[in-house]
Chain A
Amino acid sequence: MTSVAAYRFSHLDALEAESVFVMREVVAEFERPVLLFSGGKDSIVMLRLAEKAFWPAPIPFPVMHVDTGHNFDEVLAYRDRRVQELGVNLIVASVPEALESGLVRESADGSRNRIQTPVLLDAVEKHRFDALFGGARRDEEKARAKERVFSFRDEFGQWDPRNQRPELWSLYNARINRGESIRVFPLANWTEVDVWHYINREKIALPEIYFAHEREVVDRDGMLYAVHDHLPPRPGEEPFIETVRYRTVGDASCTAAVKSDADTVEKVIEEVGATRITERGATRGDDRVSETAMEDRKREGYF
Chain B
Amino acid sequence: MVDDIARTSRAAAARPMDLLRFATAGSVDDGKSTLIGRLLYDTKSIFEDQLAAVEAVSAARGDEYTDLALLTDGLRAEREQGITIDVAYRYFATPRRKFIIADTPGHIQYTRNMVTGASTADLALILVDARKGLVEQSRRHAFLCSLLRVPHLVLCVNKMDLVDWSEEIYESIADEFTAFAAKLEAPDLTVVPISALHGDNIVTRSSRMPWYDGPALLHHLEHVHIASDRNLVDVRLPVQYVIRPQSTRYPDYRGYAGQVASGVLKPGDEIMVLPSGFTSRIASIETADGPVAEAYPPMSVTVRLTDELDISRGDLICRPHNAPKPAQDIDALICWMDESAPLQPGRKYAVKHTTRTARAVVRELQYRLDVNTLHRDETAEGLALNEIGRVRLRTTVPLLADEYRRNRTTGGFIVVDEATNRTVGAAMILDAA
Check if B58 is an interface residue, CB within 8 A of chain A: no
Contacts of A25 in B (CB 8 A): 240, 355
Q: Which of A12-20, A109-117, A256-264 contacts B (4 or more CB under 8 A)?
A: A12-20
Identity of the chain A residue whose Cβ is nearest the Cβ of B313 in the assembled complex: A28
Main secondary structure of the interface of B (DSSP, over half): mixed
A1-B258 Cα distance, complex, nearest whole Å: 25
Q: Which of B183-191, B293-301, B358-366 contacts A (4 or more CB under 8 A)?
A: B293-301
Identity of the chain A residue whose Cβ is nearest the Cβ of B299 in the assembled complex: A17
A161-B244 Cα distance, complex, nearest whole Å: 38
- CB pair B350 A7 closer than 8 Å: no
A-contact 0/1 string along B344-368, CB 8 Å cutoff: 0000001011110000000000000
Contacts of B244 in A (CB 8 A): 57
Contacts of B76 in A (CB 8 A): 292, 295-296
- CB pair A273 B11 closer than 8 Å: yes
Check if A267 is an interface residue, CB within 8 A of chain B: no
Check if A139 is an interface residue, CB within 8 A of chain B: yes
Q: How far is the CB of A300 from chain B (nearest CB, A)?
A: 13
Identity of the chain A residue whose Cβ is nearest the Cβ of B11 in the assembled complex: A273
- CB pair A145 B74 closer than 8 Å: yes
Q: How far is the CB of B164 from chain A (nearest CB, A)?
A: 37
Contacts of A234 in B (CB 8 A): none
- CB pair A278 B49 closer than 8 Å: yes
Check if A291 is an interface residue, CB within 8 A of chain B: yes
A40-B290 Cα distance, complex, nearest whole Å: 27
- CB pair A10 B299 closer than 8 Å: no
- CB pair B18 A165 closer than 8 Å: no
With A4-B232, A171-B412, A277-B48 known as contacts, the answer to whether A161 contacts B116 (CB < 8 A) is no
A240-B83 Cα distance, complex, nearest whole Å: 47
B-contact 0/1 string along A242-271, CB 8 Å cutoff: 000000000000000000000000000110
Check if B416 is an interface residue, CB within 8 A of chain A: yes
Contacts of B249 in A (CB 8 A): 56
Selected from A166, A189, A281, A296, the residue in CB contact (under 8 A) with B91 is A189
- CB pair B412 A169 closer than 8 Å: yes
A90-B288 Cα distance, complex, nearest whole Å: 23
Q: How far is the CB of A229 from chain B (nearest CB, A)?
A: 30
Q: Which of A74-82, A99-107, A190-198 contacts B (4 or more CB under 8 A)?
A: A190-198
Q: Which of B211-219, B374-382, B421-429 contacts A (4 or more CB under 8 A)?
A: B421-429
Check if B228 is an interface residue, CB within 8 A of chain A: yes
- CB pair B288 A51 closer than 8 Å: yes
- CB pair A292 B79 closer than 8 Å: yes
- CB pair A169 B409 closer than 8 Å: yes
Contacts of B88 in A (CB 8 A): 142, 145-146
A-contact 0/1 string along B15-26, CB 8 Å cutoff: 011110000000
Count of chain B residues with a beta carbon within 8 Å of a chain A beta carbon? 82
Check if A89 is an interface residue, CB within 8 A of chain B: no
- CB pair B300 A21 closer than 8 Å: yes
Q: How far is the CB of B252 from chain A (nearest CB, A)?
A: 12
Selected from A11, A51, A275, the residue in CB contact (under 8 A) with B98 is A11
Q: Which of A65-73, A126-134, A172-180, A211-219 contacts B (4 or more CB under 8 A)?
A: A172-180
Check if A220 is an interface residue, CB within 8 A of chain B: no
Contacts of A32 in B (CB 8 A): none
- CB pair B18 A276 closer than 8 Å: no
Selected from A52, A175, A277, the residue in CB contact (under 8 A) with B416 is A175
- CB pair A145 B298 closer than 8 Å: no
A281-B50 Cα distance, complex, nearest whole Å: 8
**Most interface-central of B264, B287, B423 (chain A CB within 10 A):** B423
- CB pair A14 B18 closer than 8 Å: yes
Check if A108 is an interface residue, CB within 8 A of chain B: no
- CB pair B74 A143 closer than 8 Å: yes
Identity of the chain B residue whose Cβ is nearest the Cβ of A26 in the assembled complex: B241
Q: How far is the CB of B303 from chain A (nearest CB, A)?
A: 13
- CB pair B421 A56 closer than 8 Å: no
With A21-B300, A191-B91, A270-B11 known as contacts, the answer to whether A173 contacts B352 (CB < 8 A) is yes
Check if B89 is an interface residue, CB within 8 A of chain A: yes
B-contact 0/1 string along A264-303, CB 8 Å cutoff: 0000011001111110011000000001100110000000
A275-B44 Cα distance, complex, nearest whole Å: 10
- CB pair B50 A11 closer than 8 Å: no
Selected from A17, A141, A193, the residue in CB contact (under 8 A) with B300 is A17
A96-B57 Cα distance, complex, nearest whole Å: 38
- CB pair B422 A53 closer than 8 Å: no
- CB pair A168 B412 closer than 8 Å: yes
With A14-B18, A173-B423 known as contacts, the answer to whether A164 contacts B86 (CB < 8 A) is yes
With A21-B300, A161-B75 known as contacts, the answer to whether A54 contacts B421 (CB < 8 A) is no
Contacts of A14 in B (CB 8 A): 18-19, 298
A170-B410 Cα distance, complex, nearest whole Å: 11
Q: How far is the CB of A166 from chain B (nearest CB, A)?
A: 5
- CB pair B98 A2 closer than 8 Å: no
Contacts of A13 in B (CB 8 A): 299
With A17-B259, A56-B250, A57-B247 known as contacts, the answer to whether A281 contacts B47 (CB < 8 A) is yes
Identity of the chain B residue whose Cβ is nearest the Cβ of A18 in the assembled complex: B298
With A28-B355, A145-B72, A170-B409 known as contacts, the answer to whether A138 contacts B89 (CB < 8 A) is yes
Check if B180 is an interface residue, CB within 8 A of chain A: no
Check if B107 is an interface residue, CB within 8 A of chain A: no
Q: How far is the CB of B418 from chain A (nearest CB, A)?
A: 8
With A145-B89, A193-B13 known as contacts, the answer to whether A171 contacts B352 (CB < 8 A) is yes
A-contact 0/1 string along B239-272, CB 8 Å cutoff: 0110111010110010001110000100000000
With A10-B18, A57-B244, A145-B88 known as contacts, the answer to whether A269 contacts B13 (CB < 8 A) is yes
Contacts of B287 in A (CB 8 A): 52, 55
List which B122-157 residues lie within 8 A (CB) of chain A: none
Check if B33 is an interface residue, CB within 8 A of chain A: no
Check if A24 is an interface residue, CB within 8 A of chain B: yes
Q: How far is the CB of A221 from chain B (nearest CB, A)?
A: 13
Enumerate 6 A-B pairs (CB-CB under 8 Å) in ascending A order: A4-B228, A51-B288, A55-B243, A175-B416, A277-B48, A281-B50
Instruction: State the 3 A-B residue pairs at the shortest beta-carbon distance, nearest first.
Output: A142-B74, A273-B10, A281-B49
Known: A9-B298, A142-B75, A278-B50. 15 other contacts (CB 8 A): A7-B294, A11-B97, A24-B241, A24-B300, A25-B240, A28-B240, A53-B257, A58-B245, A145-B74, A145-B89, A161-B75, A168-B414, A189-B89, A276-B48, A295-B74
Residues of A that sit less than 8 Å from B by CB: 2, 4-5, 7-18, 20-21, 24-25, 27-28, 51-58, 138-139, 141-143, 145-146, 161-162, 164-171, 173, 175-177, 188-189, 191, 193-194, 197, 269-270, 273-278, 281-282, 291-292, 295-296
